[in-house]
A and B are shown apart, each in its own frame.
Chain A
Amino acid sequence: MGAEFVQFSLTPILIGVFAAIACALPGNFLILRRQALIGDAISHVVLPGIVVAFLLTGMVAAIPMMIGAAGAAILAVILIEAVKRLGQIEPGAAMGVVFTTMFAAGVLILEQSDTSQVHLDVEHALMGNLESLIWFRADGWGSLLDPAALASLPDELPRIALVCALVVVLTLVFWRWLKIATFDEGFAQALGIPAAAVGFGLMVTAAVAAVAAFDAVGSIIVIAMFICPPAAARLMTNRLAHQVWWSVAFATMSAILGYVFAGYGPLWFGAQNAVSAAGMIATVSGVILGLACLFGPHRSRVGAGRDEAA
């Protein structure tokens, strides 16, 4: 746990934790609103978004790409709603039609355009490269106090930390509105809460979190983190505040354990190479959800019979 840890593992772990928390927080509300798969749809349409942003600006820079991805996510939400209303199609199918089409368009544009010399490919987009976000200039814990070394931190870290802070602040500020609009939309409207706007705002926040996390860790983690920690937390408690705390704890645990298992796990088995950290984080979150499904104190539906719940 010395210089090497700070140099190679500290920043990826922090980025993983921030990304996991930024996704898990909106995930709590998406799950309760039965919109869990919006996270899935968003993480698919991020690809066309960044490809188009790249073609328009001609550079692999974070800000235009994040704007492009967020734009694509918002466009997808609008298109899904349009297909649902115009064609009177159920939401799941409308979502499936829209996000697969946008993803296919993204892959096609990517193939058609000459992007081979830049680091922009589908696999990278899906899997992320958490392991490569190392802190080059660090030479021990002392570097945390050294401005010169701090300046060389990977850009992804301050960015995802900022987005994570933004999501936390939004969750705290709109806590009451979110809570009421999620559980009883009619009551929320009666109180004068703009329930539809809260829903759309939640969607946009989820999109921003997904895009920021995607930038750092790829889209697998995004899907898993939107759903697994909040779903596991849902089985632990009946109180929303507690659920959110549990989800943050599960997200943090998945990110740290996943990174450690990916980086050091294979060595314990005598293998030479580390495995994908993003994939391992998703896997760990799945294991946590599995344990919650088996042993969570509030795992069964209210009113389910004892034998059914067993």
Chain B
Amino acid sequence: MQTFLDALFLQAGYNAALVAIGAALLGFAAGSAGTFLFLRKRALVSDAVAHATLPGVGLAFIVMVSLGGDGRSLLGLLAGSALTAWIGLLLIEWITRRTRLAEDAAIGAVLGVFFGLGVVLLTVVQSMSAGRQAGLETFLLGSTAGMLYEDAVVIAVGGSLTVLATSLLRRPMTLVAFDSEYAAAMGYDVRRIDLLMMGLVMAVTVIGLKLVGLILIVAMLIIPAVTARFWTDRSHRVIWIAGAAGGASGYLGAVISASAPSMPTGPIIVLVAAAIFVVSLFFAPGRGVLAAVLRHRRFQARVHRRQGLLALAAQHPIREAYTVRLLAREGLVRPDGVPTDAGRAQAAKVARDERRWDVAREVHQDAGLTGRYDGLTPIEEVFTRDEIDEFDRRLGPPMGLGDV
């Protein structure tokens, strides 16, 4: 516990602090950039982009070594990975536009082939004398063990630039994500904006290679955005909530991973993000599962109450046990289903409401008003006092129960 608190307040050593701050920044950048990917319904393009970075890493290493360099310079490797990721993106776009193949096939093809090529290049690297200790495999799952100050700077600068670009480009990207044809009609170049969006995703992927690795960076792009979507219906809030969720999972994940042995940073970050997602899925107000269940229960109760009262008014027995329980709890019927005085009064009121609606739908021409009849809404909520008086005049005097 103490180690966890130490890590939480960045007291667990220099490396742990670097990793935690880097992961939080990366999470924020990934969450906000991933939002547009999710809203554009192209979440899995990120998977292809991430896998397409692998051959770039291998190529960059080979080139750097053959030029006489060390081959392990992070910036060089990231530049290489960005290059092949970009080629992968262009290929997906080209295949979907030029051939009859759908986008999912293009994504899968690029993903599998680039990853295969990357593995081939990794085996080439391993056979080079300089490559034996290259440790390029750590890019698959990320590795924070030997993170240097320079690596943290790369993540910090890259992450901040990505967040800045996301916030600058959010209007055109939102427009394209929601209605690309309208955006085209407004004069935006949809193809270029799509590529920009993917460019941001690629930037996040490349920055995240060192920390979480290319297989799990996809999770950081997708999960926070999906999580944020549960909490709001406004797109600009989704961006910031996704950023916050991503940043929180990055920070917490790094902290947990630093406070216990055998806790790889990348997977822990993803699992923290997944935990936040599951909580949101069930407990978010409005779109969460719990809220939906409660909404359904309330609606069910309203329908049962109304139908039960109508049955009382028509002096039919209520056979549905749930309805009886509901009405008995309000003191409208006795447990055996016989109405109390209050129940009879309510029943008469509901029956009158129903008859008023009948008249209203007959005489009133405004479909916008009469269309609100759903068998549940009291007529007072829709029509004015005067109008209801007019319906009553046509209905005639009140009748006792049983005369309906």
Chain B positions within 8 Å of A234 at CB level: 100-101, 105
Number of B interface residues, CB 8 Å?
60
CB distance from B100 to the nearest CB of A (A): 4
The contact size tier of chain A is 35 or more
Of A61-69, A106-114, A174-182, the one with at least 4 CB within 8 A of chain B: A106-114
A224 CB within 8 Å of chain B: yes
Q: Are B274 and A31 in contact (CB under 8 A)?
A: no
Q: Are A226 and B108 in contact (CB under 8 A)?
A: yes
| CA gap between A274 and B119 in the complex, in Å | 12
Among B104, B111, B225, B262, the most chain A Cβ lie within 10 Å of the Cβ of: B104
Q: Are A223 and B100 in contact (CB under 8 A)?
A: no
CB distance from A308 to the nearest CB of B (A): 8
Chain B positions within 8 Å of A126 at CB level: 119, 140
Of A10-18, A155-163, A201-209, A292-300, the one with at least 4 CB within 8 A of chain B: A292-300
Among A44, A96, A301, the most chain B Cβ lie within 10 Å of the Cβ of: A96
Chain B interface, DSSP helix/strand/loop, else mixed: helix
Q: Which residue of A lies closest to B223 (CB)?
A: A97
B158 CB within 8 Å of chain A: no
Contact of B216 among A37, A103, A112 (CB under 8 A): A103
Contact of A101 among B94, B141, B271 (CB under 8 A): B271
| CA gap between A197 and B47 in the complex, in Å | 29
Contact of B108 among A123, A227, A283, A300 (CB under 8 A): A227
Given A36-B102, A97-B277, decide whether A273 and B127 contact each other with a Cβ distance below 8 A: yes
Q: Are A86 and B289 in contact (CB under 8 A)?
A: yes
| CA gap between A235 and B95 in the complex, in Å | 11
Interface residues in B123-144 by Cβ distance below 8 A to A read 123-124, 126-127, 137, 140-141
Among A37, A44, A220, A286, the most chain B Cβ lie within 10 Å of the Cβ of: A220
Chain A positions within 8 Å of B127 at CB level: 266, 271-273, 275
B112 CB within 8 Å of chain A: yes
Q: Are B98 and A299 in contact (CB under 8 A)?
A: yes
| CA gap between A163 and B94 in the complex, in Å | 35
A24 CB within 8 Å of chain B: no
Of B37-45, B164-172, B366-374, the one with at least 4 CB within 8 A of chain A: B37-45
A143 CB within 8 Å of chain B: no
Given A90-B41, A104-B271, A276-B123, decide whether A282 and B108 contact each other with a Cβ distance below 8 A: no
B355 CB within 8 Å of chain A: no
Given A100-B219, A298-B100, decide whether A127 and B44 contact each other with a Cβ distance below 8 A: no
B120 CB within 8 Å of chain A: yes
Binding site for A on B (CB under 8 A): 38, 41-44, 46-47, 94-95, 98-102, 104-105, 107-109, 111-120, 122-124, 126-127, 137, 140-141, 215-216, 218-219, 222-223, 225-226, 229-230, 262-264, 266-268, 270-271, 274, 277, 281, 287, 289
Can you list 13 pairs linking A and B with CB atoms under 8 Å apart? Answer: A92-B42, A92-B44, A93-B43, A104-B266, A111-B267, A227-B105, A231-B109, A278-B116, A279-B116, A283-B116, A286-B109, A286-B117, A298-B100
5 additional A-B residue pairs with CB within 8 Å, beyond A101-B219, A104-B219, A285-B113: A36-B102, A100-B215, A104-B271, A123-B140, A275-B124
